[in-house]
Amino acid sequence: MSVLVILGSKSDARVGEKVTKALDKLKITYRIVIASAHRTPKYLMELVEKSEADIFIGVAGLAAALPGAIASHTHRPVIGVPVSGKVNLDSILSITQMPPGVPVAAVGLDNGENAAILAAEMLAIKDKELERRLKEYREERSKAVLEG
């Protein structure tokens, strides 16, 4: 399996679907689960440690500790998607402002699609076939703009 998508709670499913929809289009294998950094920390730790995923995507709102918590348990790339709420700066800053030594790759608020594309870009570094699909995907998007 290539990507493990973890949602902080059921209410993050709306953004999670954007991730999986794009992963499907890019034909990237993935699994999607719910696991909370704060409410199920041990389950999350085991999930991450046992996982053979190449990349993790954490989707969370509020004091969005999930992507950082995933990153604390793995040396593989972790992408964080802040989920919108009443404050918005909370999840954006909780995911971007990681301390030196434990990076998270933050994408924009509710921007599940970009998390998927970013994962594809990482995997395509050594996968020519995926690189081709990725180019196609982005060219389609560019065309959609021009035909707007």
Strands (E), 8-145: 30-34, 55-60, 78-82, 105-106
Could you say which residues in the range 82-111 bind a second copy, by CB under 8 A?
A: 82, 84, 86-90, 92-111
Whether the CB-CB separation of 141 and 117 falls below 8 Å is answered with: no
Pick the binder of a second copy from 3, 4, 5, 7 (CB under 8 A).
7
Provide, rounded to whole angstroms, the least separation between the CB of residue 94 and a second copy: 5
Could you say which residues in the range 62-81 bind a second copy, by CB under 8 A?
A: 62-63, 65, 68-69, 71-73, 75-77, 79
Q: How far is CA 137 from CA 67, 114, 143, in A?
A: 26, 12, 10
25 binds a second copy (CB under 8 A): no
Pick the binder of a second copy from 15, 57, 118, 128 (CB under 8 A).
118
